[in-house]
């Protein structure tokens, strides 16, 4: 079971991936540009229409490929089932992901609700006049209005799907015109399909000998902030940054952030190749609050990373979602992902944002890619042979 995708609820945000010919899978929240076929010189943006018949100076069709986020450089359709699309030309490209949002600057949070449907075509040089029968559905995502935080449906989100050969794509949007037509600030299209974060299991114990995050193994914990008592205005003794890697599970030895988009992280003593993490709110099972929602896992290769390392220096590994209905949601959860080489640190951005809603982490564990069994056996074999040779040589 992969707990990072598909039916998703975060605070007031609801995303539901709907099976069609393929499946849209959420792979990134917020974020920024990667490879983008939409901005190639030969690519052309097209759409069904523009709000108020195109009489406004903003909300134009070309805005979805100008590499500028925000309302003033967005598109809004004028009719029901309005669509925005990208024409790649006559020669198909292999595509495997898209990204779009209403306002990735986080200023406006309206015009997000409803179902968005992604389609592709193999017709040469498609445009707004390409007949509906030549468009094939990849998948849909349904969103509700939200509060505009990091995980808001108004921010950019990336989705992956089974790759297809396409000469163009289009996104059919909900709403209509001034009464609530959906807005798209950028419509990005890529061949890139990120490897998923895989859920491995709940509960269990850490491997203290192999846990790179552990303070006794050289890991150094850091965090954006820590929760403050609303009356004394002082930090809680139970919720300190140092508790993230002290090897002790439970609420009394945990960390809790204090602001929206808070994060907790670990600096490694040496660059590492990592492929597994584990964390939970309270692995003793005593406290069962402050754990559900989206967590965004990132890594950096910057030297000596900490809470002051710029956001631009952090690369996404992927989002992790823990469902509020999970009966063991507060316990330790373990995940694997494609190996990341040369990582000097990791951080996990957490849901919530105040003394009431901020999430807690009792231990943040990180593990390196193990040596292949065959290599390890070969090494042991070589050592044994060497010992035997030395032993024989010594008896002569």
What CATH code is assigned to 198-373?
2.60.120.260
pLDDT at 315 (0 to 100): 84
CB 150 within 8 A of CB 263: no
What CATH code is assigned to 8-190?
2.60.120.260
> Most distant CA pair in the chain: distance in Å?
98
pLDDT at 218 (0 to 100): 97
pLDDT at 263 (0 to 100): 94
CB 11 within 8 A of CB 293: yes
- DSSP letter assigned to residue 89: -
CB 267 within 8 A of CB 305: yes
- DSSP letter assigned to residue 235: B
d(CA 35, CA 32): 10
How far, in Å, are 377, 381, 385, 388 from residue 391 at the CA level? 21, 15, 10, 5
Residue 65's SS3 state is helix
Give a three-class secondary structure readout of 358-394: CCEECEEEEEECCCCHHHHHHHHHHHHHHHHHHHHHH
In terms of Cα–Cα distance, which of 118, 128, 42 is closest to 77?
128
pLDDT at 211 (0 to 100): 98
C-alpha Rg value of the chain to the nearest Å: 24
In terms of Cα–Cα distance, which of 351, 348, 367, 334 is closest to 264?
348
The torsion region of residue 151 among left (phi > 0), alpha (psi -120 to 50) and beta comes to: alpha
Q: Which contacts qualify for 287-290: CB closer than 8 Å, 24 or more apart?
A: 287/250, 287/251, 287/330, 287/360, 288/329, 288/330, 289/330, 289/360, 290/256, 290/330, 290/352, 290/357, 290/358, 290/359, 290/360
Q: Do domains 8-190 and 198-373 have the same CATH topology?
A: yes
pLDDT at 246 (0 to 100): 98
d(CA 43, CA 40): 5
Structure tokens at 92: 């198909």
CB 74 within 8 A of CB 61: no
Domain boundaries along the sequence of the chain: 8-190, 198-373
pLDDT at 371 (0 to 100): 61
How far, in Å, are 7, 162, 345 from residue 23 at the CA level? 12, 7, 32
Tens-binned pLDDT, residue by residue, of the chain (396 aa): 333 332 222 222 233 333 333 478 777 777 777 779 999 999 999 999 999 999 999 999 999 999 999 999 999 999 999 999 999 999 999 999 999 999 998 899 899 989 999 999 999 999 999 999 999 999 998 887 654 444 567 888 888 888 999 999 999 999 998 888 999 999 999 987 666 788 999 999 999 999 999 999 999 999 999 999 988 989 999 999 999 999 999 999 999 998 877 899 999 999 999 999 999 999 999 999 998 887 889 999 999 999 999 988 888 888 788 888 889 999 999 999 999 999 999 999 887 766 678 899 999 999 998 766 544 444 445 454 444 444 444 433
pLDDT at 151 (0 to 100): 52
Please tell me the number of Cα atoms within 13 Å of 247 on its side-chain side: 12
């Amino acid at each position: 079971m992969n707990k990072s995708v598909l039916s998703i609820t975060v605070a007031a945000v609801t995303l539901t991936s709907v099976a069609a010919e393929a499946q849209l899978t959420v792979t990134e929240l917020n974020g920024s540009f990667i490879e983008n076929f939409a901005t190639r010189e030969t690519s052309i943006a097209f759409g069904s229409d523009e709000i108020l018949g195109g009489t406004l100076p903003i909300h134009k069709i070309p805005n979805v490929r100008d590499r500028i986020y925000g309302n003033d450089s967005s598109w809004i359709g004028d009719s029901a089932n309005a669509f925005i699309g990208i024409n790649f030309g006559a020669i198909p490209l292999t595509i495997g992901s898209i990204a779009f949002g209403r306002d990735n600057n986080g200023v406006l949070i309206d015009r997000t609700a409803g179902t968005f449907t992604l389609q592709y075509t193999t017709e040469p040089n498609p445009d707004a006049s390409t007949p509906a029968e030549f468009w094939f559905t990849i998948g849909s995502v349904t969103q509700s209005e939200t509060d505009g935080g990091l995980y808001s449906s108004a921010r950019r989100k990336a989705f992956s799907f089974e790759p297809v050969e396409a000469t163009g794509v289009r996104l059919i949007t909900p709403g209509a015109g001034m009464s609530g037509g959906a807005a798209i600030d950028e419509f990005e299209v890529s061949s890139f399909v990120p490897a998923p974060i895989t859920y491995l299991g709940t509960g269990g114990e850490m491997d203290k000998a192999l846990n790179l995050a552990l303070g006794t193994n050289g890991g150094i914990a850091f965090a954006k902030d820590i929760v403050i008592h609303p009356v004394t205005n002082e930090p809680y003794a139970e919720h300190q940054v140092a508790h993230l890697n002290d090897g002790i599970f439970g609420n009394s030895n945990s960390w809790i952030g204090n602001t929206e988009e808070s994060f907790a992280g670990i600096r490694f003593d040496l660059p590492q190749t990592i492929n597994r993490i584990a964390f939970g709110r309270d692995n003793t099972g005593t406290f069962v609050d402050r754990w559900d929602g989206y967590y965004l896992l990132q890594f950096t290769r910057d030297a000596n990373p900490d809470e002051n390392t710029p956001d631009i220096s952090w690369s996404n590994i992927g989002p992790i979602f823990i469902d509020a209905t999970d009966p063991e949601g507060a316990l330790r959860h373990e995940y694997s992902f494609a190996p990341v080489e040369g990582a000097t640190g990791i951080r996990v951005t957490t849901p919530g944002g105040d003394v009431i809603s901020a999430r807690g982490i009792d231990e943040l564990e990180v593990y390196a890619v193990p040596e292949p069994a065959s290599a390890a056996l070969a090494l042991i074999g070589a050592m044994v042979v060497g010992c035997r040779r030395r032993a024989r040589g010594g008896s002569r």
